């Protein structure tokens, strides 16, 4: 059975078709219609139709989206692509495609991808982390994404992170969220607050590697905060593997330094949880959307 995954982003819609072994049969990207919900639904329908015509088959379809359907009425909530909020996206996509569709938050799709045939393959409980412009997360148990009673499982980015510095306002209306500290912009803002120049996260990392003391200090503060934040996840979820995704996942030093930092905060004498980089990188989200339809026998 062919599976088509769709990654619905704010600027692009990406589709990939996978066979049962995870081999890519087709891939296409298109621009996301801006601030036009109906055009977005139609664009996804046309994209799936083109891929199926090219492959000569009818596929199962999974969709990764920003935000999530509300547990109350199924309408979208918490999407930074605001034209989706309040809309019955799941129902409208099923109507447009004429079949059942599986839909999940994009961070959940990332976690599903890495748990199915990626860096956490074979692990029973996986926590997938997105460290980029924002901070997101997803929980996978036995290959299935955990949505939760409120459809917010894994949303650790909007937990408060206790810190010596004053809390920072978050776009969500709260103060001191993990996202305000651990996103790429959060790292950049922290560097400025400590007297550094206005630099992006990638430049801070490069300058730290070249011996810049101020940039090195910023990275050490970042690693300490990430260690504390992930220790909370370990204490509650106790995952076998934590997989980092997003732009900051490319900082190789995190995989050695952060577990050292979380050790002091995890309520256990030993810590078996592994911190690993993603196998599929930027493709994990769209692959995970396809894997929302598990392999036969694991349904």
pLDDT tens digits along 4-49 = 999 998 888 999 999 999 999 999 999 999 999 999 999 999 999 9
Residue 180 lies in a domain: yes
**Residue 287 predicted with pLDDT over 90:** yes
Lowest mean pLDDT among 175-179, 203-207, 294-298: 294-298
**Residue 219 predicted with pLDDT over 70:** yes
Closest C-alpha to 157, from 175, 180, 191, 140? 180
**Residue 135 predicted with pLDDT over 70:** yes
Provide DSSP, 244-281: EESGGGG-TTHHHHHHHHHGGGSSSSS---EEE--SSG
> What's 207's domain CATH number?
3.30.420.40
**6's torsion region: left (phi>0), alpha (psi -120 to 50) or beta?**
beta
Residue 88 lies in a domain: yes
Model pLDDT, residue 299: 46
Do residue 162 and residue 274 come from a single domain? yes
Burial 78-107 (b: 16+ CB within 10 A, else e): bbebebbbebbbbebbbebbeeebbbbbbb
Do residue 93 and residue 150 come from a single domain? no
Tell me the angle at which helices 184-193 and 201-209 cross, rounded to the nearest 10 degrees.
60
Do residue 95 and residue 143 come from a single domain? no
Model pLDDT, residue 67: 86
Residue 296 lies in a domain: no
Model pLDDT, residue 296: 57
Residue 171 lies in a domain: yes
Distance, in Å, from the CA atom of 147 to the CA atom of 8, rounded to the nearest integer, reads 18
Do residue 85 and residue 127 come from a single domain? no
**Residue 172 predicted with pLDDT over 90:** no
Decide: helix, strand or coil at residue 282. helix
Residue 57 lies in a domain: yes
Do residue 127 and residue 272 come from a single domain? yes
| Mean pLDDT of the region 112-135 | 94
**Residue 89 predicted with pLDDT over 50:** yes
Q: What domain count does the chain have?
A: 2
| Mean pLDDT of the region 251-261 | 97
Do residue 104 and residue 128 come from a single domain? no
User: Tens digits of per-residue pLDDT, 136-161?
Assistant: 999 999 999 998 988 889 999 999 99
Q: Which domain range does residue 266 map to?
A: 122-278
Model pLDDT, residue 164: 66
Do residue 82 and residue 163 come from a single domain? no
| Mean pLDDT of the region 199-205 | 97
Do residue 80 and residue 127 come from a single domain? no
The rounded percent of the chain whose pLDDT value lies above 70 is 98
Decide: helix, strand or coil at residue 156. helix
Mean pLDDT score of the chain, rounded to an integer?
94
Do residue 28 and residue 60 come from a single domain? yes
Do residue 257 and residue 186 come from a single domain? yes
| Mean pLDDT of the region 265-272 | 97
Do residue 181 and residue 271 come from a single domain? yes
Residue 299 lies in a domain: no
pLDDT band at 297 (very low <50, low <70, confident <90, very high): very low
Distance, in Å, from the CA atom of 192 to the CA atom of 55, rounded to the nearest integer, reads 51
The rounded percent of the chain whose pLDDT value lies above 90 is 84
| Mean pLDDT of the region 245-270 | 96
User: Tens digits of per-residue pLDDT, 92-103?
Assistant: 999 999 999 999
Residue 295 lies in a domain: no
Decide: helix, strand or coil at residue 91. helix
Residue 24 lies in a domain: yes
Do residue 37 and residue 175 come from a single domain? no
């Amino acid at each position: 059975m062919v599976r088509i995954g769709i990654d619905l982003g704010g600027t692009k819609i990406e589709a990939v078709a996978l066979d049962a072994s995870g081999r890519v049969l087709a891939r296409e990207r298109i621009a996301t219609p801006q601030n036009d919900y109906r055009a977005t639904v139609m664009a996804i329908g046309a994209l799936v139709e083109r891929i199926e015509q090219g492959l000569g088959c009818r596929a199962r379809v999974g969709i990764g989206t920003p935000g999530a359907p509300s547990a109350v009425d199924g309408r979208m909530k918490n999407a930074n692509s605001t034209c989706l909020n309040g809309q019955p996206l799941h129902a409208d996509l099923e109507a447009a495609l004429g079949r059942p569709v599986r839909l999940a938050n994009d961070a959940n799709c990332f976690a599903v991808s890495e748990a199915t045939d990626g860096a956490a393959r074979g692990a029973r409980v996986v926590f997938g982390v997105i460290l980029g412009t924002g901070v997101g997360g997803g929980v996978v148990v036995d290959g299935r994404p955990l949505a939760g009673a409120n459809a917010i499982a894994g949303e650790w980015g909007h937990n408060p992170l206790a810190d010596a510095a004053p809390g920072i306002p978050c776009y969500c209306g709260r103060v001191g969220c993990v996202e305000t500290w651990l996103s790429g912009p959060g790292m950049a803002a922290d560097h400025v607050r400590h007297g550094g120049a206005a630099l992006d996260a990638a430049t801070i990392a490069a300058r730290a590697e070249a011996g810049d003391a101020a940039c090195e200090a910023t990275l050490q503060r970042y690693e300490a905060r990430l260690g504390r934040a992930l220790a909370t996840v370990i204490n509650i979820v106790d995952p076998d593997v934590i997989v980092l995704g997003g732009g900051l996942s490319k900082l190789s030093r995190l995989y050695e330094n952060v577990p050292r930092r979380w050790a002091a905060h995890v309520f256990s004498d030993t810590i078996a949880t592994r911190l690993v980089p993603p196998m599929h990188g930027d493709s994990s989200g769209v692959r995970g959307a396809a894997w929302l339809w598990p392999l036969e026998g694991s349904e």
